[in-house]
Amino acid sequence: MVRIVADSSCDLFTLDHEDFKTVPLTVYTDERSFLDDESLNVSEMLDYLEKYKDRSYTSCPSIDAWLEAFRGSNEIFVLTVTSALSGSYNSALSAAEMYKEENPNVKISVIDSLSTGAEEVLVLYKLSSLLKEDLGFDCVDERIRAYVRNSRLFFSFFSIHNLAQNGRVNKTVAAALNVFNISVIGTATPEGTIAVTDKARGEKKSLQVLLRNMKEAGYVGGKAIITHTENESAANNLKALVLSEYPDADIRIVPTRGLCSYYMERRGVVISCETK
């Protein structure tokens, strides 16, 4: 069986019936660390971070952590958070080269999602679907890379303090939030960076803007993944909004793990979709 490995920005712990492993990133403050694995209490982490006034930051998995996830398999697909904002992809690449040196007959593909969270979930489910077609490793690799280029991610965040603190977005934009119930709307760019595109007052309006942006990007129904940080009601409302225009759309809702919860913060909602 082919093994699928992703870092914990993928928000999943299991993937259908696949041989699937995740490698945790870590959230740090000067006082504590939060390893993004199965034992992490995301709500407790968020409570702590909301009260903590000093710096916080994240760290990618080590080469050894990736190697441990690879061991025991000869065919492996690896998916990472965007290389534009994290060292996870480069760490996985280095581990893959070392693993191939130890195991000359291994097939291993390391894929830069150029995104995170919901888009990684979308890609992982597509990868699982392709593997069930018994197409062969190289064919699956080609098709999943093409799929990455034809999917998009959009977000609505009511706080981007942690994104700004870590240099992911402009601090001036971040300072304007947390006032008047305003959210920022944005997207993952083709280069794998974050672009803020809109602002919206209130959750209902922000969800409407997300759907509009999906349609403008080429969404015409089909698969979509919604992730949320302790905001299941908004995720369900967004799903209902999409289904009101595309009744046959295949939409799944996934709560975020630690890494994405850290950057999305409470109330954050992300949607990733297939495009034409």
For 188-230, the DSSP string reads E-TTS-EEEEEEEESHHHHHHHHHHHHHHHT--SSEEEEEESS
Distance of CA 7 to the CA centre of its chain: 9
pLDDT per residue over 255-265, tens digit each?
999 999 999 99
| Weakest mean pLDDT among 29-43, 101-115, 139-153, 163-177 | 163-177
Give the pLDDT score at 180.
62
Q: Residue 267 above 80 pLDDT?
A: yes
Domain with CATH 3.30.1180.10 in the chain: 151-274
What token pair was written down for 82?
A: 């965007």
Higher pLDDT, 127 or 173: 127
Give the pLDDT score at 176.
54
The model's confidence at residue 156, banded by pLDDT at 50, 70 and 90, is very high
Q: In the CATH scheme, what is the homologous superfamily, with its name and number, of domain 3-25+60-148?
A: Dihydroxyacetone kinase; domain 1 (3.40.50.10440)
* Protein fold of 151-274: Hypothetical Protein Tm841; Chain: A;domain 3 (3.30.1180)
Give the pLDDT score at 168.
63
Higher pLDDT, 194 or 47: 47
Mean pLDDT along residues 78-84: 97
